[in-house]
Structure 1
Amino acid sequence: MAVIEDHSLFAESLEIALEMEGHDVRRIVLPEGGRSVHTLLPIIMRAKPRVALLDLDLGTYGNGGRLVEPLTLAGVNVVVVTSSIDRGRWGECVRYGARKILPKSSPLNDILATIRRITEGLPVMTQDEREELLKHWHAQVQEIQLIRSRLENLTHRESQVLAQLMDGRAVREIARMSVVSEATVRTQVKSILSKLEVSSQLAAVGCAHHVGWAPAGA
C-alpha cells in the first residue's frame, strides 16, 4: 500500500495506523523541488501498491488528481484522502477511477474500514454517492466551458489587459505601460467585466484562474 501525501505528520499517522492493522505500507517521499505530478508515477509504481491513498494537493507537484487515471489503469485501487471540499473535483476523481473520496476530517476508522473493504473485494461507494459526485463534476465542466467561451470573446487588447490584472497590476500601471490614458484602460476593463458577466476585476481574475486561462501566445 502506498501513501501519497505531502504533509508529513498526516502521512506518518496513516502509515502507523495502517501498519498496526497489519498492512504493508510505503509512504512515498516527494523529492524536493518537484514541478510535475507525473514524475511521481514511476516512484509510486516501484512500490507495487494494490491500494494508494492519494492527496489531491501535493505542494509544488500540483494536482494529485492527475494521478488517479494512470494509477487506476495500472490496476491500483485509488482512495483519495483530501482537505479539498470541492465536490466537482471529487467527481472528477471518481470519473477517472477513484474507488472512494474521503475528507481528511474523516475518523481514522472510516479510512481503515475503506481499506479493509477494498482488500476484501467489497464495494466502498454506493451508486447514489457515485452519481451525485459525477453530477457535480459535469456541472463544473459545463461552468468551465461557459467561462472559456466568454473569454474567447475578448479582443486581443482586452486579453492583454486581463493578463496584466492577473499579474496584480493596477489600472494606472497598465495605462502607463501601454502608453494610453487611464480612461482608456478603464473602458477596456468595463468591457471585460461585461463580456465575462462579472461585477469586479477580482471576479474577472478569479474566473480566468479558475479555468487556467492564459492569453494567446503567452
Structure 2
Amino acid sequence: MERIRVLLADDEQLLRTGIRLVLQHAEDIEVVAEAGDGGEAVELACRMPLDVALMDIRMPDVDGMTAVEQLTRRVPALKVVMLTTFGEPGYISRALRGGATGFILKDTGPQELIQAVRAVARGGAVLSPRITKDLINRYLATDDDAAGRLVSTLTAREREVLVQVGLGASNAEIARQLYMGEGTVKTYVSRILGKLGCDNRVRAAIVAHEAGILPAG
C-alpha cells in the first residue's frame, strides 16, 4: 500500500508530536518530515518527495502564509492544508489565494484530520465546518445571480461534475460517481475552473453553493 507522505510545519514541538501521534494511527499516512517554521518547511519540500503539508499560520522567520505562496511556485504538486487556531476571513482569503487546498482548525477531531489528509491527497479540498459559512459569506462575495450566470455557461455534464466538486469529492470519487475515467474528470474540472474564472476547487465549490445547485443537506 502506497502511503501518503506528510510534512508537519508548526513552531510548537508538543503540537507536532500530537498531530504525528494522531496520523500514525492511519496505515496509509506517514509523517516523513517536520519543520518549526515556514522557511524550513519550504526547503524540506524542495528536497524530498511529499504529498501533503499541514502548515500552521503563525510561525517565526517565515510564516505559514508566505510559505504556502512559495510552495505553490516551487512545489506545485504538493497539497498544502492550513492547520491553525485562527479562522479569520483575512487568513482564509490569503491562504486560498496563495494556493492552499484546505483550511482546518486545530480543534478538528482525530478522524476528521485523517480524512482531511486523505481527501487533499486524492485531489479534493477541505474546509473546517466551523468556518465554511463565514467563508461563503465573506470570502468570495459572489451574489446568487452572478453565480447562476456563471453556472449557466456550463454544459449539463460539466454541471454534474461541478456539483460533485461542490460536495467535496476528489477526482477519483467523481469518476466512480459519474462513471468517467479519472483523466476525463481532470479535464472537466480544468475546463470548469476556466469557465467560472476560479483558480482552485474551493472557489468553484463556493460558486456552486451560491448558484443553489447543490443538493439540500
**TM-score in terms of structure 1 length:** 0.52
Deviation at 1:96, TM superposition (A): 1.1
Whether 2:16 is the aligned partner of 1:15: answer no
Alignment CA distance shift 1:61-1:121 (3 Å):
same
SS, match of residue 24 in structure 1 = strand
Deviation at 1:91, TM superposition (A): 1.3
Q: Note if contact 2:35-2:41 (Cα within 8 Å) is conserved in structure 1.
A: no
Kindly tell me: are residues 39 and 7 of structure 1, through their superposed partners in 2, closer, same or farther at Cα, counting changes over 3 Å?
Answer: closer
Hey, what does 1:92 align to over in structure 2?
Answer: 94
Q: Which has the larger radius of gyration?
A: 1
Q: Is the 8 A contact 1:2 1:26 kept in 2?
A: yes
Cα distance, 1:62–1:70 mapped onto 2, change above 3 Å: closer
Query: Quick one: higher RCO (CA 8 Å, sep 6+), 1 or 2?
Result: 2
Q: CA deviation at 1:10?
A: 1.3
* Contact 1:56–1:65 under 8 Å retained in 2: yes
Q: Which residue of 2 aligns with 1:24?
A: 30
In structure 2, how many angstroms separate the alpha carbons of the residues matched to 1:10 and 1:93? 21
Q: Deviations over 1:41-97 (max 9, x none)?
A: 212322321100000011x32521111122233111000000123221111101111
Partner of 2:85: 83
- Percent of residue pairs bearing the same amino acid type: 19
User: CA offsets per residue over residues 159-215 of structure 1, 9 Å max, x none?
Assistant: xxxxxxxxxxxxxxxxxxxxxxxxxxxxxxxxxxxxxxxxxxxxxxxxxxxxxxxxx
What residue number does 1:181 align with? none
Q: Which amino acid aligns with 2:93?
A: G
Aligned AA for 2:95? C
Gap runs ≥5 in structure 1: 137-218
Residues matched between the structures, number: 130
Give the alignment's Cα RMSD to 1 decimal.
Answer: 2.7
Q: Kindly tell me: are residues 19 and 89 of structure 1, through their superposed partners in 2, closer, same or farther at Cα, counting changes over 3 Å? A: same
Q: 1:46 to 1:67 in 2, by over 3 A?
A: same
Q: Higher mean Cα deviation, 113-122 or 87-96?
A: 113-122
Question: Could you tell me which residue of structure 1 aligns to residue 48 of structure 2?
Answer: 47
Closer, same or farther: CA 52–133 of 1 in aligned 2, 3 Å: farther
Q: Report SS of the residue matched to 2:108.
A: coil
Structure number having the greater strand percentage: 2
Correspondence 1:118 to 2:124: no
Change (3 A) 1:82 1:133: farther
